[in-house]
Amino acid sequence: MDLPIKWLKEYVDYTASTKDYIEDITKAGQKVESVRELAGDITGVISGKVLEIAPHPDADKLVITKIDVGSGENLQIVTGASNLTVGDIVPVAMIGATVYHGDSLEKIKKGKLRGVESAGMLCSIEELGFTRHDYPEAPENGIYIFQEEVPLGEDVKKLLEMEDEVVEFEITNNRPDCYSIIGLARETAATYGVPLKYPEITLKEEGEGNSKDIIDVEILNPELCPRYIGRVVKNVKVEPSPLWLRHRLTAAGVRPINNIVDITNYVMLELGQPMHAFDIDTIDEAKIIVRNAKENEKITTLDGQERQLDPSMLVISDCNKAVAVAGVMGGENSKVSPGAKAILFESANFNGANVRITAKKLGLRTDASAKYEKNLDPNLALDAVNRAVQLVEMLNCGEVCKGMVDCYPNKREKWEVEYSTEGINKLLGTDISEKDMIDYLKLVEVEADGKKALIPTFRPDLVAECDLAEEVARFYGYDNIETTLAAGTPTVGKKTYSQQVEDKILSTLVSLGLSEAKCFSFESPKVFDKLNIPKESKLRDTVKITNPLGEDYSVMRTVSLNGILTSLAVNSGRRNPEAKLFEMGKVYIPKSLPLKELPDEIPTLTLGMYGKVDFYDIKGICEELFESLGIKEEYIPEKDITYMHPGRTAKITVNGEEIGFVGQIHPDVAENYAINTGVYTAVLNVAKITEFSSFEKHYEELAKFPSTQRDIAMLVKDEITVKEIEDVIKENGGKLLESIKLFDVYKGNQIQEGFKSVAYSITFRAKDRTLTQDEVVSPMNKILKNLESKLGAQLRDK
Amino acid sequence: MKEELKKIQESTLKKLSEVKGLEEIENIRVEVLGKKGGLTKILKSMGSLSQEERPIIGQYANEVRKAIEEKLEKTKENFLAFAKEKKLQSEKIDVTMPGKKTKLGHVHPMTQVIENIKNIFIGMGYEVVEGPEVETAYYNFEALNIPKEHPARDEQDTFYIEGEGEILLRTQTSPMQIRTMETHSLPIKIIAPGRVYRSDEVDATHSPVFHQLEGMVIDKGITMGDLKGALAVFAKELFGQDTKVRFRPHHFPFTEPSAEMDVSCFACQGKGCRVCKDSGWIEVLGCGMVHPKVLERCNIDPKVYSGFAFGMGLERIAMQKYSISDLRLLYENDVKFLEQF
């Protein structure tokens, strides 16, 4: 909402500077977004009289003028304008002045035009930053010429009443009354405790006949139209509005059009009540019917667009046709054209939600609909219509008929809110006296007596004690409420266990060199193809967004990988030689489709990396991670995840339960992401990690007796996994077996094709004694025998 | 014999003063003091001396031996010290060369800000709670006094989910107020960080996915003064002890009275600059006293209990704190960006 300061000061006297004002009004609850100075950029332009016009010796299109700017010394200024005559008073930009040149500002310098010195520039209205809408008397092409004798050497901004400051407010939607100059004036008056000067409305009513006899109004849907007032003006003269009115509109950001339209806009800005004017001759039988639109009904609105209506929408119609979309825009068929003889002013109240939905359906949000959708006070309509016809009389552009038609079946009355001084003080933590509270409430026209408050109808937001508490606090000053620290019951600040696990995961991964990524939770359904996920996969059953920002953000992810792969692709595309990332996010798994209840949101950890890394790097990271969480996990070869390398992927299990996988991304998938190097990833279910994790530690006594170590090397078939070998060693090592350590795996020269050499250090230890060589012979033999029999291992001589 | 001894002493000491290595010293030791060494030989022949001469020569011989031994030892020590010195010198390295680093990863700036804020509130006795991002309209709107026809519920602001009933992506962390009141016993003192969603196209200052942090305290006798107190402490902890705060009246459907909290601009200390649009203040959060209707809906008697709640957008705080000019950087995950934090 734009508030021009000059206009504001019509209704409220205050002395604060605009700088202080914006601070004060913001603290009182109306937040200022910005302040702009109208014509603030224009400087150094004064009025001057044309004394002489002489042709330019070297240019047909230029003339040399002598200008009197009241300083006694005449200026020689060269201009290309052809609309000047001797004696005209015009705006003169002096040397050093700033004016508009197109959309940008230009500083006037002393110079020569085709060899002739020019000490300034004569200005058009556009060069002063305005248009012919603001100053219709200005010529289409040429220098602005003052219409009357004005003093010379005066600042033209003052002469043309261009200067003003416009304060832009952020109005909260509980305060429809503040979408008006008068509403903000009321807040201003309350802020400074000064009176509000409400516009005085007096009418002459010289038009022939009474509105009641001329028109008829019927509301068929009073729920959507609580009030409709019609008032007739005869012998209308449609013409440009006077300067003062045009300026008010321009300052408030509304384009002046003609006196009738300008009057409706003026009232809307001033009082917040949208108005509309119909040409009565276009209303069949002069009867207004407010009704729902018919199936397939169409109307061409004032902007020339044909609009398809539906029965949820409210229209203003006559006996035969719709003449306006209620609260949104008038119809082309009933508009006030320059030849109109009599007009009907509409000042009505419509249901806010209905107007909003209609405007949205039509894609036609107007100034009027924006006001209506906040739910206006129906009592406002009366003042508004009278204000409009008063302006007609002021502008002398029509004869206002007596009376009006006012359909208002259920009048909105003031209501009472019970409160107690103590209750408000208790909520605020203040000690404000009953009388002071009554005075604060009086500032916003609430009549209170310490027990109950009578609320004006333009304040629908005041319905309970807490609402009054806010009004009291606003004018007592939020700043003046004493800052305290709640005594209350002591509480312990803490994180949940799962948050602690997540913290541990984060710190472990960061110390292992991975950086944390953040990815969007929704993505494109095309991701499933990109990841080579089969058509029939359950992962394609997604939580879908009804109104997404395009397909790319249309489904909640069921797989976390796309985010990290996309991030790796960004890094790879930017030639970052290495990237190691992890993301702690969620996947969203529907319990059933169509969705009947909220989906499962499963916290998921996704690791991804490329660069100088291989499978064993990322597996090592997983191992460190699980160790830090007190989890003993196992890795089982996994070849069936379609987006993973079938020979380089392991699923990870804990106590036989699967909690994720680790491996290399399938090269086809990496290619889909345009990453031309090995990409390694791990995807882990954090809910399950949390379940299996443990931060409990127990000290185990350090060994007192030395261990005995045996190294073995064996030849096994390539497909035998290290895990299989280790299982055999563990099973047969007996209770003295302390640890086994793989120290070599070799394929190639000297090793038979299809085989590999694997070497282990096996350590035995007893807690209570030093082992003798003999004691380890038996377990070693058992191990070797079983390796041979179960895995076909051939032991190699050392 | 004495002459011989003297000669051997002189020649040995001379040799020792000219030696060039440890090995030579050992050779000299063997040559002189060894079983077949010069001095040993002389001593062995002492038997041929007279009774009177023997002690005199014996004593002299011992002196000679001692002198030689001392010299041997000293020479050896010198050599060892010299060798050590030489070794140390040969081991000299360029300590200005870069160290071998174990590259650490980096925590995302959003997480750093969230953790920072969490820790401040945990220190003040708040418990951290979490809840669903896919929410029902009841928790996101109705229970928070946002009725059906409210503009905030428009499709242009809220992402709705296909399915039965009104399911949506939460537009705020405020549903956690309701969920906590329904499940926690009183008093309540919680914060709830998390992701929220709004239908904003991606640009330098908007993202359809972003983070908020909600806070709520409910107990007997909680006042607006307590709200101001708690948030002033928070602001000073987060933005620095010199930070000033300002509370302005505002409107939220689920708090009354409501306020927005500004902090003095940390870029210009309140003098007015580009960051604060010359106002000297930066808007940080919305807050207010929990609306009695909201309490009632959660079966908390507003005559007995009162409370305050607050909510803040975290991206903006992170961007201001780290001078990040484009929000998109936060979700791109370029390591060159992440490594700066």
**Average per-residue pLDDT in chain A?**
93
3-state SS assignment for residue A159: helix
Residues 6+ apart with CB under 8 A from B213: B114, B117, B118, B173, B191, B192, B193, B194, B311, B312, B314
B109-338 CATH? 3.30.930.10
Tell me which of A692, A722, A741 is where a domain ends.
Answer: A692
* Minimal CA separation from A71 to chain B, in Å: 39
pLDDT for residue A8 is more than 80: yes
Domain encompassing residue A384:
211-407
Q: Which range has the worst mean pLDDT, A103-107, A546-550, A783-787, B136-140?
A: A103-107
**Residue closest to A267 by CA, chosen among A358, A390, A408, A362:** A390
CB contact under 8 A, A34 and B256: no
A748 vs chain B: nearest CA distance in angstroms? 33
List pLDDT tens digits, range B99-120: 988 889 999 999 999 999 999 9
- Whether the pLDDT of residue A363 is over 90: the answer is yes
Chain A touched by B251 (CB under 8 Å): yes
Contact A681, A607 (CB under 8 A): yes
For the stretch B73-90, what's the b/e string if a residue is b when 16 or more beta carbons lie within 10 angstroms of its beta carbon? eebbeebeeeeeeeeeee
B112: distance to nearest CA of chain A, Å? Answer: 10
Question: Do residues A400 and A424 both lie within one domain?
Answer: no
Same domain, A33 and A178: yes
- Collect all residues of chain B within an 8 Å Cβ-Cβ radius of residue A482: 225
**Buried/exposed A71-108: b ≥16 CB within 10 Å, e otherwise:** eeebbebbbebeebeeebbbbbbbeebebbeeeeeeeb
Q: Do residue A484 and residue B124 have CB atoms under 8 angstroms apart?
A: no
How many whole angstroms separate alpha carbon A224 and alpha carbon A352?
A: 8
B chain contacts of residue A353, beta-carbon cutoff 8 Å: 149
Which residues in chain A (85-124) have CB-CB distances under 8 A to chain B?
Answer: none
Which residues in chain A are closer than 8 Å to B333, comparing Cβ atoms? 515, 517-519, 567, 570-571, 581
B91, two tokens: 């081991």
The verdict on a CB contact (< 8 Å) between B199 and A549 is yes
3-state secondary structure of A762: strand
* Torsion angle of the four alpha carbons A127, A129, A134, A135, in this order, in degrees rounded to the nearest 10: -20
Which one of B121, B127, B333 would you mutate to disrupt binding with A, by most A Cβ within 10 Å of its Cβ?
B333
Closest-CA residue to A497 (of A690, A689, A632): A690
Amino acid at B297: R
> Do A593 and A707 contact (CB within 8 A), yes or no?
no
pLDDT tens sequence across B151-168: 778 777 899 999 888 999
Q: Which of residues 32-61 of B touch A (CB under 8 A)?
A: none
Chain A residue with CA closest to B308: the answer is: A427
- Tell me: do A84 and A9 sit in the same domain: no
Residues A496, A686 contacting (CB under 8 angstroms): no
Per-residue pLDDT tens digits for B25-46: 888 888 888 888 887 887 788 7
Q: Which residues 60-99 of B have a C-beta within 8 angstroms of A? A: none
pLDDT at A797: 64
- Mean pLDDT, residues B231-236 taken together: 94
- Domain check: are A6 and A49 in the same one? no
Confidence of residue B68 (pLDDT cuts 50, 70, 90): confident
Q: Distance between CA atoms of A320 and A299, rounded to whole angstroms?
A: 12
Q: How would residue B293 be classed by pLDDT, with cut points 50, 70 and 90? A: very high
Looking at per-residue confidence, does A235 or B12 come out higher? A235
A441–chain B nearest CA distance, Å:
14
Collect all residues with Cβ–Cβ distance below 8 Å to A675 and sequence separation of at least 6.
Answer: A565, A568, A569, A572, A610
Provide CB contacts within 8 A for A354, sequence distance 6+: A224, A312, A313, A314, A327
pTM score of the predicted model: 0.85
**Considering only CA atoms, which of A679, A675, A625, A624 is closest in space to residue A648?**
A679
Q: Is the dihedral of CA A250, A255, A261, A265 positive or negative?
A: negative
Residues 6+ apart with CB under 8 A from A539: A528, A533, A558, A559
Using the Cβ of A594 and the Cβ atoms of chain B, whether some distance falls under 8 Å is answered with yes
**Residue A39, by phi and psi: left (phi above 0), alpha (psi -120 to 50) or beta?**
left
Pairing of strands A644-654, A634-637: antiparallel
pLDDT tens sequence across A711-752: 999 999 999 999 999 999 999 999 999 999 999 999 888 888
Answer yes or no: do A445 and A501 share one domain. no
Lowest average pLDDT, out of A119-128, A241-250, A592-601, B168-177, goes to: A241-250
A217 and A331 in a single domain? The answer is: yes
Q: What local confidence, expressed as pLDDT, does residue A175 receive?
A: 92
User: Are residues A782 and A742 part of one domain?
Assistant: yes
Of the candidates B130, B322, B276, B331, which has an alpha carbon nearest to the alpha carbon of residue B212?
A: B130
Q: Would A206 be classed as within a structural domain?
A: no
Q: Which residues make Cβ contacts (< 8 Å) with residue B77, sequence separation at least 6?
A: none
Collect all residues with Cβ–Cβ distance below 8 Å to B110 and sequence separation of at least 6: A518, B211, B314, B315, B318, B330
Q: Are residues A439 and A570 in the same domain?
A: no
Query: In degrees to the nearest 10, what's the CA dihedral of A641, A647, A649, A652?
Result: 100
pLDDT (mean) for A198-215: 92
pLDDT digits (tens, 9 = 90+) for A72-122: 889 999 999 889 999 999 999 999 999 988 878 889 998 888 889 999 999
Instruction: Kindly tell me if the per-residue pLDDT of A500 is higher than 80.
Output: yes
Cα–Cα dist B42/A471, whole Å? 121
Answer whether residue A198 is part of any domain: no
Q: What whole-number distance in Å separates Cα of residue B176 and Cα of residue B178?
A: 5
CB neighbours of residue A445 within 10 Å: 16
Location of structure tokens 């060159």: B336
pLDDT in tens, B185-200: 999 999 999 999 999 9
In a domain, A700, yes or no: no
* Chain B contact for A37 (CB, 8 A cutoff): no
Residue A222 resides in a domain = yes
- Same domain, yes or no: A33 and A48: no
Which of A637, A666, A692 marks a domain boundary? A692
Number of domains observed in the structure of chain A: 6
Over residues A187-210, the mean pLDDT reads: 93
Rounded CA separation A68/A610 (Å): 78
DSSP A482: P
Facing residue for A473 by CB, picked from B160, B257, B330: B257
- What's the token pair of residue B185? 């016993």
Cβ atoms A153, A69 nearer than 8 A: yes
Percent of chain A predicted with pLDDT > 90: 81
- Residues A49, A30 share a domain: no
**CATH classification of the domain holding A86:** 2.40.50.140
- Residue where one domain finishes, among candidates A362, A385, A407: A407
Mean pLDDT across B50-74: 85
Residue pair B82/B152 in contact by the 8 Å Cβ criterion: no
Tell me: do A266 and A362 sit in the same domain: yes
Average pLDDT over residues A608-636: 95
Residue A177 C-alpha, separation from nearest chain B C-alpha, in angstroms: 14
Query: What residues of chain A lie within 8 A of the CB of B129, using their CB?
Result: 496
What is the CATH number for A19? 3.30.56.10
Write out chain B residues lying below 8 Å of A481, CB-based: 224-225, 228, 247
Specify the pLDDT at position B9.
Answer: 85
Residues A302 and A429 in one domain: no
CATH number of the domain that residue A393 is part of: 3.50.40.10
Q: How far is B256 from chain A (nearest CA, A)?
A: 6
Decide if A701 is inside a domain: no
Measure the CA–CA gap between A727 and A733, rounded to whole angstroms: 10
pLDDT at A594: 86
CA distance B190 to chain A (A): 8
Cα separation of B216 and B81, whole Å? 73
Going by pLDDT thresholds of 50, 70 and 90, the confidence category of residue B22 is: confident
Asked if A553 has any chain B CB less than 8 Å from its own CB, the reply is yes
Is this complex scored with an ipTM above 0.90? no
| Domain ranges for chain B | 2-90, 109-338
Considering only CB atoms, A427 lies closest to which of B110, B123, B224, namely B224
Cross-chain residue pair A493–B121, CB shorter than 8 Å: yes
Tell me how many degrees the CA angle A45-A51-A57 measures, rounded to the nearest 5: 95
CB contact under 8 A, A481 and B228: yes
Q: Which residues, listed in sequence order, are joined to residue A515 by a DSSP beta bridge?
A: A581
